[in-house]
Structure 1
Amino acid sequence: MLKKRPILLQCAEMLILFATLMAIDQGLMSGNAFCDINPNPYWLPVLVMATTYGTGSGLAAAAIASAIWFRWSNPWSGATDHIEQQLRLSIQPMLWMVTALVTGEVTASRRNRIADQERQHQAMDRNWKKLAEIIARLTDTNRKLQVRIATGQRTIVQAMAAGLDLSKPDPESQADAVARLIALAAQTEDFTFYDVRGAQVTARFGGKTAQGQAPDLSRSPMAQAMLATPRPLRADRAADRPLLSEWGLLAVPVAGAEEGLAAIILVHSAAGIRITEAYVAQLLQVADLLGKCPALFGREQAFAPKWLVPEGKVA
């Protein structure tokens, strides 16, 4: 690869070369700029600088060599024609200049070619890295899609099983089915199902991870707000946050057959779940399904015995 050094360092190298040659010439030789030696040693700094650093450094070395040549050389002996003397004196500097120019341009061309290759190599490296990142993202997306498809298929099967259990005559199977449907929609087992009868809001059962004894919410601001206007209350909304601060993340109303508030699904926590419109809509669909069930907790007299909640399900 072509060397890239500061101009002062190039000048120092050039001066060291010339100083060494001049010391040899003046100290060990006859001091006539190596006129008796062919090829002349002053070719060395010219070729080295032009080959290593390009045209500028080569021409500078040729100029210094020419100055030394004009000062100390004596390329003729005896009487010689004046024009021939000038030709003999100038031929060496002219060759140095031409050689420095040609060699320097070749060096510059090589430098540009190497620079282009380096840029292409860097571009290829960047493209390979981007391609590797894209492949990694596609692989991760494909893995997530496979998991989502598998989870979706399992969720459908679980929902179908819960729906079948909801039609069973015993109350324990019905309560289990309702809990499983809510857990599937909420994507968490930390919830409580509250029954609403008039102004009474009573906990009936909870998810598997619901903690502690569920309180009576009959006089809570949250229950009063939902009784006044049955709508989802969300902790991510500033207006609803004070109502839910003590209870959880989301409260979803379950409308009865007469469009009144029949129950409340209170989601306490959902790890890794963000409350979105799609998430709330999913829970509202389950709430709508439960509200339309005629046997839901014995609201019709014929199903009164089914209202009994099995042991272990009461929060």
Structure 2
Amino acid sequence: MTRSGIIDTNERIEVETARQSASSAGSDLRLSAIIELVVFIGLFLLADYTMGTGTRFWATAPHPLWLVVILLSVQYGTSAGLIAAIAASITLLSGHFPPQNVDQDYYDYLLYIGWRPIVWMLTGLLLGELRRRQLVQNAELRADLAQTELREQTLSKAYASTMERVHFLERQIATQAQTVLTVFRAAQNVEQLEVSDVITGIESLVDEILAPNKFSVFVPSRNNLDALVSHGWETPTEFSRQIHGESQLYASLLTERRILMINRQDDAAILGKDAVIAIPVQNNETGEILAVIRIEEIDFDKLNSSLLINANLVRQWLSSAFAKAETYENSVWIGDDGVRHAIVSSQLWPSLSEWLIQVCKRNGLSLWQLDVRNIENNIASEEALRLTDQIARGFSRELRNTDLVFQRDGHDHGTIISILLLGTDKAGIDNVCGKLNKLLRASSDQTICQLALVTKTLVNKPGSVHPREHSVP
């Protein structure tokens, strides 16, 4: 199937016309042949009138009209040759007939008069057919040549179009690679540990993924939503900087919690004149609205189904980022010494613990691991997360700033918390374990009271590793 724009319509019509004319070459009567025939007959009659005796040069051999029949047959083909033979015969027989000799009967006399027209007809037919075959071959060659030129032009245009498409795709791939890098950097701004930092990073994420011209980020403030970020605004009052609690938009965002787009009739009435799309970002667990992204201006060609898909992506991304930030903030507390403490994620346990082992071995430091376990059986992840926060807060006053507290999933021998203690001797470990064990037994939570402490020597002295476990009674 020929792709539109590759083959020119006029060129294709010319090739088809050349192909059709090849089959009829030499059979059609051209106007130039008629004109030449009239001119030759006229010159012949003029010569007969001025130089002859009015007998149409009957006694001349070969007869001058032979030239007309042969010339037109050889030049134009069968049709022109037969017409020339008929015209020459009429011209010849229109003059005075020669007298009949006494030794000629009627049929001999007719043959004497008609032999030239008959021979002219046969000559016109024979030479004309030879010429017609030659004209057909020439026409077919011209049609083939035109077809070849058209094919060459088609291939050339197709190649140019393909190369243009290749260059476009190369530019697009390069652009997408740059876009992926930009989105990754924008995501880094969002994937922060503080909720306030996540809100600050929303601007770059929305700008890179949705690419609006103007948008705002609103956060809850009492019974309203106030604009915290304004991107692309020329003046502060160009759009409303507050979504009032009495407005229909505020009610829809907080009750329905869905994305509103102006291309839907019901949503357009809710959005009004200030917004093209509104994206609520919520806490997936509580359903609380954390922020609202309101796009005030965007290019028309971007207002399609892809925009809704990308908006959902941004919404889910931000919801996940907020959840991680809230989890981090919930796991952070201020100790009695005023120092900020936090539990390290279990995802960092394999790599960070191995790294600390290598550091301690290289620098001659001892490294101990202290696990808080449910020895009876494994514990559910949700229960492990609940216990982790309570235990870590209770342990914070007994641990140093250099001691790292890791959150565990509860599946590794029922381990809930792992603590890495650097540069501590055996006596110090026993002292810490005694204090921590008392805290566990003094807890009002029966599950915590049943937990056990298990110590393990990871690095005891420079250059040696002794992974021995000891249970603390």
With the shorter chain as reference, the TM-score category is 0.7 to 0.9
1:100 is displaced (CA, Å) by 0.9
1:183 aligns with 2:207: yes
Q: Deviations over 1:129-175 (max 9, x none)?
A: 44344334323332232222212222222233233333557888655
Counterpart of 1:217 in structure 2: which amino acid? I
Q: What does 1:1-20 align with in structure 2 at a 5 Å threshold? A: 10-20=33-43
1:102 aligns with 2:129: no
Q: What does 1:73-112 align with in structure 2 at a 5 Å threshold? A: 80-82=103-105, 85-112=109-136
Q: What does 1:261-300 align with in structure 2 at a 5 Å threshold? A: 261-271=289-299, 273-292=301-320, 293-294=322-323
Question: Which range moved further: 135-144 or 226-235?
Answer: 135-144
> For the residues of structure 1 that align with 2:272 and 2:141, how far apart are their CA atoms?
63
Counterpart of 1:236 in structure 2: which amino acid? N
Q: 1:155 to 1:12 in 2, by over 3 A?
A: closer
Asked whether the 8 Å contact 2:26–2:77 carries over to 1, the reply is no
2:257 is matched with which residue: 230, 245, 249? 230
Corresponding position of 1:51: 74
> For the residues of structure 1 that align with 2:163 and 2:275, how far apart are their CA atoms?
36
Which gives a bigger RCO, structure 1 or 2 (Cα 8 Å, sep 6+)? Answer: 1
Counterpart of 1:264 in structure 2: which amino acid? V
Larger radius of gyration: 2
1:24 is displaced (CA, Å) by 0.6
> For the residues of structure 2 that align with 1:108 and 1:302, how far apart are their CA atoms?
100
Asked whether the 8 Å contact 1:75–1:88 carries over to 2, the reply is no
Asked whether the 8 Å contact 2:211–2:298 carries over to 1, the reply is yes
Q: 1:27 to 1:122 in 2, by over 3 A?
A: same
Asked whether the 8 Å contact 2:82–2:121 carries over to 1, the reply is yes
Percent of pairs with identical residues: 18
Q: What does 1:188-227 align with in structure 2 at a 5 Å threshold? A: 188-197=212-221, 199-207=223-231, 209-213=232-236, 214-215=239-240, 216-218=242-244, 219-227=246-254
Aligned to 2:290, the other structure's residue is in SS state strand
1:179 is displaced (CA, Å) by 1.2
Query: How many residues are matched?
Result: 302
1:17 is displaced (CA, Å) by 2.1
Asked whether the 8 Å contact 1:186–1:267 carries over to 2, the reply is no
1:74 is displaced (CA, Å) by 6.5
Asked whether the 8 Å contact 2:73–2:81 carries over to 1, the reply is yes
Normalized against structure 2, the TM-score is what? 0.54
Asked whether the 8 Å contact 2:26–2:132 carries over to 1, the reply is no
Q: Which runs of 5+ in 1 are unaligned?
A: 304-315
Counterpart of 1:29 in structure 2: which amino acid? G
> For the residues of structure 2 that align with 1:298 and 1:273, how far apart are their CA atoms?
39
1:108 is displaced (CA, Å) by 2.9
> For the residues of structure 1 that align with 2:158 and 2:230, how far apart are their CA atoms?
44
Structure with the larger helix share: 1
Normalized against structure 1, the TM-score is what? 0.78
Q: 1:158 to 1:68 in 2, by over 3 A?
A: closer
> For the residues of structure 2 that align with 1:122 and 1:300, how far apart are their CA atoms?
78
Asked whether the 8 Å contact 1:232–1:253 carries over to 2, the reply is yes
Asked whether the 8 Å contact 1:196–1:263 carries over to 2, the reply is yes
1:138 aligns with 2:155: no
> For the residues of structure 1 that align with 2:148 and 2:270, how far apart are their CA atoms?
58
Q: 1:173 to 1:125 in 2, by over 3 A?
A: farther
